[in-house]
Amino acid sequence: MAPTPTMEPLSGEDEWRRMEREHPVMRMTRNDKEAGMDYVNTPHVVAMVGLPARGKTYIAMKLARYLNWVGLPTKVFNVGDYRRQALGSYQGHDFFHPRNRDGTNIRNKCALDALQDVCEFLQTGGMVAVYDATNTSMERRKLIYDVVCERMGYKLFFIESICNAPNIIETNIMECKVTNPDYTNMEKEDAVKDFLKRIEHYRLFYEQLDEEKETKYSFMKIYDAGRRVVVHKQEGHIESRIAYYLMNIHITPRSIYLTRHGESVFNQLGRIGGDSDLSYRGRQYANALAKFIAEQNITNLRVWTSCMKRTIQTASGIDAPQERWKALNEIDAGICEGLMYEEIQEQYPEEFAARDQNKYSYRYPRGESYEDVVVRLESVIMELERQENVLVVGHQAVLRCVLAYFLDKPGVELPYLKVPLHTIIKLTPQAYGCKVEFFKIPIDCVDTHRSKPVVTSSDEGKEEDMRGAASGSGGDVIDGVQVNVLRGLVEGLSMGDNRHIRAEESLQGAVGGVSLPESARSLAAFRRPRQ
């Protein structure tokens, strides 16, 4: 811990004015060649406001994750990170006292450095920059406005988090601050004491956003983690979207369970899309899933499925309120619905190659792209953020999109995320991220995952994993996360018989049956060996 510095009177305005005049950010001007103007007319800066331990960084990171997911390149600029880079080791709470001249100068420079990087990010194709700092004085907010709006011509939206609930503040301190890099080498009790004093230093010069004195600013104020929200002079589509999103999030502990439907008849045939029933093994998975959910004793669980038979059948044995979402239906493959990948490659070679070139944005003729699916899933994400414990029984492409949102995965990675059949993914939102757990039920199924091809011509490098035999987790680790294999759930499900089940038998046994073209029936036993 650094020695206590000598305090000086609050008279550092001359130094601040000099730094403000001389810093490179004050010489920046807007470059009118920014990329991506077809989506957002004007780049935005979102500036956080509030005392420490009020959830500003939580809001900033969550908002950035959402905006990136919907296609707006967004980045968070945390001024605390700039301070840590400038100083190395933590200096103690006295560093943040307003009478600490050296500390104030360093913090001011870090704030200006971060603001400069914000502007450079927006000049090079960024759409939204989140300026994550306390910004607790009117003077600081005026500087941000002058640089962002007057000098650069961007839009500015302040988000102030105000929290007076002791339990929320205590939770924020324990979950977020005590484990941050500032307190790595400090006992938890000492870290809490230091941080509380740090908050009091900020409180000395804290000025809340004022609708009368700062009337020209656009901002929203969030009280006690969403108990009350005030929006002032919100302008434009992006600010409206941000405000609506932040009105829907909450901090109540909960878990979200994701699982694909059990193996379907079309899965066995290696065909995409359609509305087929579950196979014999898929029905076994449905029984095991119901058993798993019952054993978890999840309070206030809600079950969401698509409107397709295979998800409804998978969830049929679960004792919980259920809702059907058309938005959760599988990606529409258009003219390729019901075809095998080999048939698509043969009949539509150009389409097959084009999808490999850019799987996220490629749209099936008369169908959808992953990008389209993200758009229709936005309402689902909003409701997921409002809910507590939810089980989503969905489809591979749809759950990839949902998983990409919670794990902050970019569009280039989204279409290749692993979402195996007969596997439950448990997501537990945490302070600055999401804990992921995989639970595999060992019931054989086809492997429908297709890795990103190395060669993207129409006739090479097409190792397609839609023809399967064994289960599709690819081992006991998925994307670096250990998979929990739940062998006990299959007891009593007659799993000893692992003979190949012909598709015709699955058709006869599936609930409601399924209508297949004659060509599909003739290919029912088709299985090409792995190469």
The winner for highest mean pLDDT among 102-106, 279-283, 510-514 is 279-283
* Range in 72-86, 273-287, 380-394, 446-460 the model is least confident about: 446-460
Name the nearest CA neighbour of 368 among 412, 408, 415: 415
pLDDT at 333: 97
Please report, to the nearest 10 degrees, the dihedral formed by the alpha carbons of residues 236, 240, 243, 246 taken in order: -130
| Minimum mean pLDDT range among 100-104, 341-345, 419-423, 493-497 | 493-497
Q: Of 485, 426, 482, nearest to 259 (Cα)?
A: 426
Mean pLDDT across the stretch 448-455?
Answer: 82
Q: What is the mean pLDDT of residues 349-355?
A: 96
Q: What is the mean pLDDT of the chain?
A: 85
- pLDDT for the residue numbered 5: 56
Separation between Cα atoms, residue 375 and residue 359, nearest integer Å: 16
pLDDT at 334 over 80: yes
**CA 121 to CA 127: how far, in whole Å?**
8
Of 261, 395, 422, 449, the active-site residue reads 261
| pLDDT given at position 300 | 96
Burial class (CB in 10 A: 0-12, 13-18, 19+), 27: exposed
pLDDT at residue number 114? 97
Give the pLDDT score at 467: 35
Average pLDDT over residues 307-323: 98
Q: Which has the minimum average pLDDT: 142-151, 161-170, 210-219?
A: 161-170
476: pLDDT strictly greater than 90: no
- Whether residue 93 lies in the annotated active site: no
Domains of the chain (ranges, CATH numbers): 13-248 (3.40.50.300), 256-496 (3.40.50.1240)
Determine the pLDDT at residue 173. Answer: 84
- Integer angstrom CA distances of residue 164 from 51, 168, 223, 225: 11, 8, 8, 10
Q: What is the mean pLDDT of residues 145-154?
A: 94
**Backbone dihedral angles phi then psi of residue 44, each to the nearest 5 degrees:** -120, 145
Q: Cα separation of 523 and 166, whole Å?
A: 65
User: Which residues make up each annotated binding site for substrate?
Assistant: 260-267, 310
- Least confident segment among 151-155, 271-275, 489-493, 508-512: 508-512
User: Is 113 in contact with 145 (CB distance < 8 Å)?
Assistant: no
Residue 525 has pLDDT above 70, yes or no: no
Give the confidence band of 528 by pLDDT, cuts at 50, 70, 90: very low
What does DSSP say about strands 322-324 and 155-162: parallel, antiparallel, or unpaired?
A: unpaired
Cα(103)–Cα(298) distance, integer angstroms: 49
**Active-site position among 330, 351, 368, 371:** 330
pLDDT value of position 519: 33
Tell me the average pLDDT across 306-314: 98
Percent of residues, the chain, with pLDDT higher than 70: 81
**pLDDT for residue 242 is more than 90:** yes
State mean pLDDT over 128-156: 96
Q: Is 464 a catalytic residue?
A: no
Q: Work out the pLDDT band at 32, boundaries 50, 70, 90.
A: low
Structure confidence at residue 180 as a pLDDT band (50, 70, 90): confident
Q: What is the pTM of this model?
A: 0.84
Beta strand pairing call for 155-162 and 390-394: unpaired
The pLDDT assigned to 508 comes to 39
The pLDDT-based confidence of 490 (bands split at 50, 70, 90) is: confident
Q: For the residues of 219-286, what is the DSSP string, one character each?
A: EEEEEGGGTEEEEES--HHHHHHHHHHHHH-------EEEEEPPPBHHHHHTB-SS---B-HHHHHHH
Q: What is the predicted pLDDT for the residue at 6? A: 54
Question: What percent of the chain is modeled with pLDDT above 90?
Answer: 67
- In this prediction, residues 290-318 reach a mean pLDDT of 98
pLDDT at 12 over 80: no
Does pLDDT of 2 surpass 80?
no
Binding site per annotation, positions: 260-267, 310
